[in-house]
Copies of this chain bind each other. A is one copy, B any other.
Amino acid sequence: MPATGSGKEREIVGAALALFRDKGYHATSMQDIADAVGLQKGSLYHYLASKEELLYRIALDTISEYDRRLEDIVGSELPAAEKLRRAVQAHVLMQSDDVGTVTLLRDSGALQPEQREVIRGLTRRYADLVETVIAGGIASGEFRAVDAKMATFAILGACNWIHRWYAPGGRLTPEAISAAYTDFFLRGLGSG
């Protein structure tokens, strides 16, 4: 997630990111966040109205970063297989590195309906971009004629599960995961 806002605000968002990831959004209190940044709980409300505001900001910044990286790849003139390879690589890096990913994927259900709709819209945008790559590869003959929507869901599901099992420093590095997943998906699509 990119850092935004003033110094203290960034510090609060950073503390919330780590607490939400490690304890979960629901188990984290405003007191926990205040303690982590050395503020009285009352002073914390000077910077934000509620814990939910932090959740929304983290979810929004995280999905926006996923979208931004994918848009750069999809907007290029590369063959579909290479776009897919780079998309998987970018997604694996976000899953293994980005501290907001777990909060986005696990806790977004706690947002207000209108906030949830914004996040859902950006998440749908991400899936639509992946589907565009697959449909483009089918149209150009690079990929076999699969159902592009189901292939998209399968690939995104596989990639969105990584943060659940990934262990930093283990045998399965982000590079190894990217390579194995890309190989698996491209074979599944009749390419590579």
Measuring CB to CB, which residues of chain A are less than 8 angstroms from any residue of chain B? 24, 26-27, 106, 109-110, 146-147, 149-151, 153-162, 164-165, 172, 176-177, 180-181, 183-185, 187-190
Contacts and interface: CB of A to CB of B under 8 A. Distances in A.
Nearest to A186: B188
A190 B192 CA distance: 11
A149 B172 CA distance: 9
Contacts of A159: 157
Contact of A161 (B147, B157, B183, B187): B157
Instruction: Specify the main secondary structure of chain A where it touches its partner.
Output: helix
Contacts of A24: 109-110
Contacts of A161: 153, 156-158, 160-161
A180 B183 CA distance: 18
A151 B106 CA distance: 23
A58 to B, nearest CB: 17
